[in-house]
Structure 1
Amino acid sequence: MTKPAPRGLHRPPIARWFFLQGVVLVVVSLAFLGLRGQVSWYSALLGGTIFLLSNGYFALKAFRYSGARSAKQIMNSFYKGEAGKLILCAVGFTMVFKWIQPLDIAALFLTFAIMLVTNWFTPMLVGSKTQQS
């Protein structure tokens, strides 16, 4: 009898998470377009895009390594990913405030907040299936 191969740690389904978050961003942006107009639409789109880009950077850094032997590298990657995410958010908001006029600040920040909350619930919505590294 042969034993099945041991199952290691797996990476979360990042692509599915970002797809769901992208759908949420499109729906929220279109809702702003319908309810408040074009300025609110692109402001919402920018707020969600800032979130997605910075969160994507974090995901690339944080889930770069896997396995128990890589524990130190995993922790370092999480710290670097989180620091980079915060910097990208700051740079993103700075660029938007500097170069985009007119701007609906409420739509920008509300969409960013909606994306943040969506990020908290995405693992439950997508499911706990994982992908192989």
Structure 2
Amino acid sequence: MAKARHQGIHRPPVLRWLAFQTGIVILIGLAFLFKSTVASYSAFLGGFIFVLPNAYFARKAFRHAGARSAKQIVSSFYQGEAGKLILCAVLFTMAFKWIQPLDVAALFLTFAIMLVTNWLTPLLASGGPQRS
């Protein structure tokens, strides 16, 4: 009789996803070089204003695993999301206060592209839908 294989919940490949998102930010920033250097570094800022808080969330949210850690997992997700929102606000504030000149359109467009990319990252970075 064959042994039953344990099918646990696997952690998502978060580092691969963050690397993929960072690559997208770099491509967008380089593409904005065709407009201007200000647009290019503004695009980099907009992308990293998205990626850095996302990395914080991933670190916070996926540090616990297992059914016995369910309360800590839920708590970590809430803390990670709150921290991500606060970090976004702080980073946007810093960009607007300290970076001059700034191409606001490039900054927000890149941030918006990264929001959409975030929804698609599990499919794009993993080569297809995740199997359960």
Q: What letter is aligned with 2:100?
A: Q
Using the size of structure 1 for normalisation, the TM-score is 0.91
How far the C-alpha of 1:129 sits from its partner, in A, is: 7.0
Instruction: Give the structure 1 partner of residue 28 of structure 2.
Output: 28
Q: How high is the sequence identity, in percent, across the aligned residues? A: 64
| CA–CA separation in structure 2 for the residues paired with 1:109 and 1:116 | 10
How far the C-alpha of 1:42 sits from its partner, in A, is: 0.3
Q: Deviations over 1:14-43 (max 9, x none)?
A: 111011111110111111111x11000000
Instruction: Give the structure 2 partner of residue 76 of structure 1.
Output: 75
Q: Deviations over 1:47-100 (max 9, x none)?
A: 101111000000001111111111111110000000000000000000011100
Relative contact order, higher structure (CA 8 A, sep 6+): 1
CA RMSD of aligned residues (A): 1.5
Q: Deviations over 1:93-132 (max 9, x none)?
A: 00011100000000001101111110000001123279xx
Q: What letter is aligned with 1:12?
A: P
| CA–CA separation in structure 2 for the residues paired with 1:129 and 1:102 | 46
Structure 2: stretches of 5+ with no match in the other structure: none
Q: What letter is aligned with 2:54?
A: N
Using the size of structure 2 for normalisation, the TM-score is 0.91
| CA–CA separation in structure 2 for the residues paired with 1:97 and 1:11 | 36
Structure 1: stretches of 5+ with no match in the other structure: none
